[in-house]
Structure 1
Amino acid sequence: MENIIYQSMKAAIRILENQNVIANNLANISTTGFKETFNLTIKNENVKNLYKTQTQKYYNFSEGILTNTQRKLDLIVKKDGWFVIKDINGTEAYTKNGHLQINSQGQLTIQNHKVVGNKGDIKIPNNINVKILSNGVIKTIDEKQNKNFEKEIGSLKLVRFPKNNLIQKSNGFFYLKNKEVDQYSTIPHDNTVRVQSEVLETSNVNPTKNMIDMISNARQFEMNMKMISMYDQNIEHANQLLNVNN
């Protein structure tokens, strides 16, 4: 019996972890570039023909719906490319969110984190129009005498790597797994990655599927709680019988 309650408790804890992941997905339906997350439970059979479960997190990297914004600092990075930012610790992190802003210091930011440039820091002059080319090059546009004069002021660092090398942290950004971080101090810019301006990629969360999964998990959790409750009742009845016999 002890094994039954142990397995029920483990299953209940696993279900709660899944619910947290689903709740986070639903909370980020409107987050630009957000990638849906799932917990995958794997059962491994050992030499005693018993099953040991292991939970692994994986990500849905499929593309979200593309929306036209007509804003020059809104970008999508195509296919398996990524934008690069610096987190609060100064570590490079990766995102599909291409909603760029210019802060009071003239720096390009994503979600208030500085965007990393391919050739050093990017400084945007005040009161100037800019455009970003498909290769990430940033140019200022100065109109004089009905003519446009363009000047390159920097370029975005764009990277590409296998998706199974990535892990997402609580800040919502992706990082390379430890073994990859040890291998590379920083990931080099990839000249083949392309961006497109005036477009944003929405979250790829499927709300219907996540709601169904949440309801299913709730029912499974209730079933495990009932099993634990029945175990407690059986123990109580057994103790009453022992007391009567004594």
Structure 2
Amino acid sequence: MDRMIYTAMSGAKHILEKQATTSHNLANATTTGFRAQLDSFRAVPVLNSPSPTRSFVVDSTVGTDYTPGAIQQTGRDLDVAVQGKGWISVQLEDGSEAFTRDGSLKTNENGILQTRAGATVLGDGGPITVPPDVTVSVAKDGTVSAIAAGFKPGAATVLGRIKLVNPAEDNIVRGDDGLFRTKDGNPPDADASVALVGGALEGSNVSVVDAMVDMISLARQFELQMNLLKNAESNETKAAQLFGLS
């Protein structure tokens, strides 16, 4: 009974935490370039306990699903999607480097190329500045070119090349802001094998159907844990009555 209470109590607690993760994934089913978070349960024995039968259930974040999402054509010049593996490097306000798959780019009031969230897109030589009144195009290798608006098509001016990286998946971690970083803090070098698709965006890799099924399954598991706690309470009441008779 003691083991039942500990397992059911901790199981119910962490089922709620996993339900929150599943809800977060489902809420980002339409977020550009989103990567689903993966959780799993594991049993952990209680240390320094006189009863070796006690154990807890722990919800462990095992990582991220790096399966590429579907690429959808948008026709917008500053929309790019990473084809296959790889990331777009961005620079944050504190000067640190992070990675994203969200290729919905824009220019700020100073013409600096940024993501929709406001992170500066890194080029091989630093931030990329786009002059006003130009038509911008992004090549497969990340080269950003511009042609002055109102002029006959001619040789395009190369503004820079987006830094594309492909660090090992076991060396990157998701931050609270949704961006990814290397675990060791060292920014990786540019990878020439990473390719972009212009005029397109990558969708989220979250399956709405799978997420809904997981939420239903977790709700039933939570109900099971509650029933176990009720059974433990019932058993304890009956045991107390038996002891009272003796």
TM-score, normalised to structure 1's length? 0.86
- 1:7 equivalent in structure 2: 7
Q: How far apart, in 2, do the equivalents of 1:43 and 1:89 lie?
A: 39
How far 1:14 sits from its partner (Å)?
Answer: 2.2
- 2:154 equivalent in structure 1: 148
- 1:131 equivalent in structure 2: 137
Q: How far apart, in 2, do the equivalents of 1:30 and 1:138 lie?
A: 27
How far 1:149 sits from its partner (Å)?
Answer: 3.5
Q: How far apart, in 1, do the equivalents of 2:89 and 2:130 lie?
A: 17
Distance 1:120 1:145, change over 3 A: closer
How far 1:56 sits from its partner (Å)?
Answer: 3.5
Write out aligned runs for 1:1-246 (5 A).
1-42=1-42, 55-110=60-115, 111-142=117-148, 146-177=152-183, 180-181=184-185, 184=186, 186-239=187-240, 245=245
1:22-63 CA-to-partner distances (Å, cap 9, x unmatched) read 101100011001112221335689xx8998866232222112
Q: How far apart, in 1, do the equivalents of 2:152 and 2:176 lie?
A: 49
Decide whether the 8 Å contact of 1:63 with 1:204 is kept in 2. yes
How far 1:245 sits from its partner (Å)?
Answer: 4.9
1:87-143 CA-to-partner distances (Å, cap 9, x unmatched) read 343321111111111111211111221111211121111221111111111111125
Name the SS of the counterpart of 1:152 in structure 2: strand
Distance 1:147 1:222, change over 3 A: closer
Q: Match for 1:124: what amino acid?
A: V
Q: Match for 2:78: what amino acid?
A: L
Distance 1:220 1:88, change over 3 A: farther
Deviates more, 1:161-170 or 1:19-28: 161-170
Distance 1:145 1:216, change over 3 A: closer
Decide whether the 8 Å contact of 1:142 with 1:148 is kept in 2. no
Q: How far apart, in 1, do the equivalents of 2:188 and 2:82 lie?
A: 17
* Structure 2 spans left out of the alignment, 5+ residues: 46-51
Q: How far apart, in 1, do the equivalents of 2:54 and 2:237 lie?
A: 29
Name the SS of the counterpart of 1:154 in structure 2: strand
Decide whether the 8 Å contact of 1:40 with 1:58 is kept in 2. no
Distance 1:154 1:215, change over 3 A: same
Q: How far apart, in 1, do the equivalents of 2:176 and 2:26 lie?
A: 15
Identity %: 30
Name the SS of the counterpart of 1:64 in structure 2: coil
Decide whether the 8 Å contact of 1:86 with 1:113 is kept in 2. yes
Decide whether the 8 Å contact of 1:86 with 1:116 is kept in 2. yes
- RMSD (CA atoms): 2.5
* Structure 1 spans left out of the alignment, 5+ residues: none
Q: How far apart, in 1, do the equivalents of 2:174 and 2:40 lie?
A: 15
Name the SS of the counterpart of 1:115 in structure 2: strand
